[in-house]
Amino acid sequence: MTRRRRRNPEGQDASVMVQAVPAASVEAVPAQAMEAAPETAVAQTTEKKKQHIFKFKKLHERGFHDDIRYRGPISYQGFQVLGWACIVIGVVVTMMSLGMKANAEIKTRLFKLADFLAYLPSMSLPFMLIANFSRILNNEEGYLNQMLRNLLATAGLFVGFNAFFYYYVVGALSQICLEPNMVMILIMDVMHIVTQYGFVSFNIFVDLLLCTMFMFFLNYRPKKYFQGKWIILFRLMGLLPVAYEVASIALKVECARGVIELPVWSFPLLTVKPPITFFVFVLMVLFLKFREIRYCRHGKTYEDYREFMQTNRNSLHFSIFMTVLLVVAAIVDLIIMISLMVIQAGSMEALEKMMELSDYYPAAIAIGFGKSIPLMFVAPIMLLFSYTRKPKNENISTLIPVVAIGLIVLIVIQGSYQVLCVANIPRINYREIRETLFYLIQFYLMGIGATT
């Protein structure tokens, strides 16, 4: 204890007892506080990390501020190239099939290669659909531009096919048979031999047009018309392309069963999509629509959702969803195809015997079931795709279809020439034909002279 004197307010001296504090204890308090402060900061940081790990953000809380860096290396332009490459390979497979039917030796050499390449043409449509709608998702192209382009391509292919068929094919055969009805019967017989069920669908632009219309009516927001409750009517218009698709599938089913016979002029208007691929596209559009509803439910606007669609995170979620969907669709298509084939054959044993026949072509495959199985090979490529990735040169997208169509024309011309070369066509003896014609003319002139 120490005694210290101090002066009170009245000026009187007073002795106050003051307790002395040890120097060690004075220095110990700040040291403990300094040691506790870093520990508290570390604990708070660890707690925040745990909250960040175990508390996932909701969809509407995502945006550019917490976007991921991963972006798939393949853009929509790469899918466009893959789609047109599959179409070109499909034309090659068609010419190979004609060559194998024309010559048995060609069939033994090219059968395995043609059987392997036959799965690639069915992969063209998913690549083309995803490539086209990626340009819509990243705001690079609008619905109206795509619909107009696909409509013009559909109309051009329809007019060109029918003009060529009726002017050149029917016109040339009419000069030989002299009866147009017999010409059409002959053509349909050949069509049944070549296609097994009397129809062929090849106009992929019809499918692109219908898919664009369906996505347009389901996702587009009109700015002037169809406001308020009228938006429901606008959404219901999405059933129009669905009805066209269902009608096309029904017509192909009835034609495969032999109930009806489709005219040749209607071939460019038939859809190419297999039934399962059509439902895959419908589910893809519904995924985008419900994702928009989920995002805008918490006070977000449609413009906010359009900005969120440009993030790499949303692109990755889209790719993952499509990967799972394609795998499931391929498995479902395989199950449906086998089930329909068993039903058609009557039993599994009868199906095994029918599959041993070289000309066996089940009706399930004719109407499109089984053609979606190659979607399983598209699924892993989908993980490398990102619609937010911009191609280096966007002008190449307009040149890809031109180059592909040019290759198709060259393949058809060269393939037709090769088919005629390898076909076992009997040689024509022009000398006998000339002598026969000379005899007929002489006989005809003698008959005229006898009547006069």
Closest CA to 298 of 29, 80, 60, 72: 60
Residue 180's pLDDT band (boundaries 50, 70, 90)?
low
Cα–Cα distance measured from residue 113 to residue 33, given in angstroms and rounded to the nearest whole number: 79
How many other C-beta atoms are found inside a 10 Å radius of the C-beta of residue 238? 18
Sign of CA dihedral 288, 291, 295, 297: positive
Q: What is the pLDDT of residues 200-214, one digit of tens each?
A: 888 888 988 998 888
Lowest mean pLDDT among 23-32, 305-314, 364-373: 23-32
Segment 324-331 mean pLDDT:
93
What pLDDT score was predicted for residue 323?
Answer: 93
* pLDDT tier for residue 107 given thresholds of 50, 70 and 90: low
- Indicate whether 1 pLDDT > 50: no
Q: What is the mean pLDDT of residues 382-411?
A: 86
AA letter at 85: A
- Where is pLDDT greater, at 240 or 435? 240
Supply 183's token pair.
């010409």
Look at residues 203, 216, 91 and name the one whose alpha carbon lies nearest to residue 148: 216
Q: Structure pTM? A: 0.71
The average pLDDT across 397-401 equals: 86
The pLDDT value given to residue 320 = 93
> Looking at residues 297-302, what average pLDDT do you find?
80
pLDDT, mean over the chain: 76
CB distance 401 to 81 below 8 Å: no
Average of per-residue pLDDT across 147-168: 89
> Which has the minimum average pLDDT: 107-121, 155-169, 290-304?
107-121
CA–CA gap between residue 208 and residue 205 (Å, rounded): 5
Flag whether pLDDT at 324 surpasses 90. yes
Cβ-count burial 66-103 (b if 16+ within 10 Å, e if not): ebeeeebebbbbbbbbbbbbbbbbbbbbbbbbbbbebb
pLDDT score, position 56: 64
Whether the CB-CB separation of 191 and 200 falls below 8 Å is answered with: yes
Q: Per-residue pLDDT tens for 274-291?
A: 888 888 888 888 888 888
15 bridge partner residues: 5
Phi, psi of 388 (to 5 degrees): -85, -10
Q: Given this model, what pLDDT does residue 326 score?
A: 93
For residues 150-178, average pLDDT: 83
Cα–Cα distance for residue pair 91/68, rounded to 1 Å: 41
Asked whether residue 40 carries a pLDDT value surpassing 70, the answer given is no
Alpha helices (runs of H) in 103-123, residue ranges in sequence order: 104-117
Helix (H, G, I), strand (E, B) or coil at 383: coil
- 72's torsion region: left (phi>0), alpha (psi -120 to 50) or beta? beta
Neighbouring residues of 117: CB distance < 8 A, sequence distance ≥ 6:
89, 92, 93, 96
Query: Which residues in 387-409 are b (16+ Cβ under 10 Å) and which e?
Result: bbbeeeeeeebeebbeebeebbe
pLDDT tens, position by position, 211-261: 888 888 888 888 778 887 888 898 899 899 999 988 998 888 888 777 888
